[in-house]
Amino acid sequence: MKEEASQTLKLAIPIIIGELAQMALHLIDSAMVGAISYKQLAAAALVINAMNIPFVIGIGMTISVSQMVSMANGRNDPKMVSHYLFNGFCLCALTALAISLTLVFGKDLLHHLGQDPEVVTLAIPFMQLMGLSIIPMLLFMTLKQFADGLEHTRTAMFLSLAGMPVNILLNWLLIYGNWGFPRLELEGAGWATLITRSGMFLALAVVILKHKTFQKYMAVRSTQWYLNAKTWRELLHIGVPSSLQIGMEAGAFAISGIIIGTLGAVSQAAHQIALSSASFTFMVSMGLAQAGSIRVSNAFARANWAKIFVIGKSTVLTALIYGTFCAITFAAFRNILPNAFNKNNDVIQLAALLLLFAAVFQISDSTQAIGAGLLRGIKDVKTPTVLIGIAYWVIGIPVGYVLAFRFGMGASGMWLGLILGLTMASIFLLTRFFKMTKRNRTV
């Protein structure tokens, strides 16, 4: 158990750092535009909530690349690794283009979500730029998943970290109009994100094409880089349910944000502060889940169910420890964290309360991510998708809506619904994983 936990953490840490760097970009954007006004912050929150569902659906599709590459690597088959890279990249590029066009041409939908009109006016140009930036971001994520599936996780981590100072500088220039640049405010944050994401994708593409670490996979591209319908079906078998799983969870948070936005800009801004903070800590759980999934997938290729069980159990215990630490941290600093985003007293007070709710769901949020990742590693994706749908959309969101409006609890009611949905998802997924590993170990 100790050895397996150590191996998973060794693989997870670079993934986690890379994920945190990506999330830090959103936090920095929120903080820098929030310094202008809380309505700028609310507009950023509206766009992030509106585009979150299609964006994470795209991320779910990229996960299929790491899963298939990991299994091919477990069978020591570099030709199939290269084949999955090419087909996965083409599939994800098509997905990225479709999502981007949908967001760019559907930006006027923001006018019909019952939000503050001034917030919507600020959000429209930001929505268009963020929609365009989906393309380089998902292409970067595809190449990252390829490298992660081979357990080469440091390359994307370094590029993600390098993107942070670039994004901060571009924000400083374009949001505030420093050094003679135009003062674009929230729109400037959109341009900074688009430029940074494009640079990161191009840099990772050059590394994978040219670095000696990946040469044995590039050397066979003349015979392996061709489109294959069977390969696309394999990728879609993992990618579509993974997209639905992540999309339903992200959708629950996004819809909650839109519902909370109907309560006013103060509630929307406070929700964004609490959600951004919780999303930051969740990136660690996502990295841990991906590392556990890759290691389980590798063992699954060899039908080593005893190892799958030990990897799974040790990863869940690690998540429990981490979730507990995050819960204590949020509770202790709930009155301090909001000040980093905004100085409006009403926003700060409500955000502090919502951070207390965020503290409560840290454990279940971490363990449900692990459960979903472990099940993906053994190619069990269809039933977990249904279970996640029930947890969030049959239980969590309806309960939250009733508490928010029928019982007059407002934003607090929606967050209580989210806590219930996350808890049920964790119970459903972990129960299924351990039942399956027990059954297969005794066969």
Q: What is the band of 2 on the pLDDT scale with cuts at 50, 70, 90?
A: confident
Per-residue confidence (pLDDT) for residue 443, from 0 to 100: 53
Neighbours of 353 (CB within 10 A): 18
By the 8 A CB rule, do 396 and 426 touch?
no
Mean pLDDT of 213-230: 94
Mean pLDDT of 327-337: 88
Q: What is the band of 236 on the pLDDT scale with cuts at 50, 70, 90?
A: very high
Mean pLDDT of 33-37: 81
Q: Which residue has the higher pLDDT, 74 or 196?
A: 196
Per-residue confidence (pLDDT) for residue 438, from 0 to 100: 86
Is 359 a residue whose pLDDT tops 60?
yes
Is 5 a residue whose pLDDT tops 90?
no
Q: What is the mean pLDDT of the chain?
A: 88
Q: Is the pTM of this model over 0.85?
A: no
| Residue (of 214, 212, 185) closest to 37 by Cα position | 185
Per-residue confidence (pLDDT) for residue 426, from 0 to 100: 94
Q: What is the band of 35 on the pLDDT scale with cuts at 50, 70, 90?
A: confident
Mean pLDDT of 260-269: 79
CA 261 to chain centre: 22
Q: Is the dihedral of CA 210, 213, 219, 221 positive or negative?
A: negative
Condensed to tens digits (0 to 9), the pLDDT of residues 86-99 reads 999 999 999 999 99
Is 157 a residue whose pLDDT tops 80?
yes
Mean pLDDT of 8-12: 88
Per-residue confidence (pLDDT) for residue 442, from 0 to 100: 64
Dist. CA 315–CA 311, nearest whole Å: 6
Domain boundaries, the chain: 1-227, 241-442
Per-residue confidence (pLDDT) for residue 360, from 0 to 100: 85
Per-residue confidence (pLDDT) for residue 179, from 0 to 100: 93
Per-residue confidence (pLDDT) for residue 421, from 0 to 100: 92
Condensed to tens digits (0 to 9), the pLDDT of residues 99-124 reads 999 999 988 888 877 777 888 888 89
Q: Which residue has the higher pLDDT, 369 or 253?
A: 369
By the 8 A CB rule, do 99 and 134 touch?
yes
- Written as one string, the DSSP assignment of 313-382 is HHHHHHHHHHHHHHHHHHHHHTTTGGGGT---HHHHHHHHHHHHHHHHTHHHHHHHHHHHHHHHHTT--H
Per-residue confidence (pLDDT) for residue 27, from 0 to 100: 73
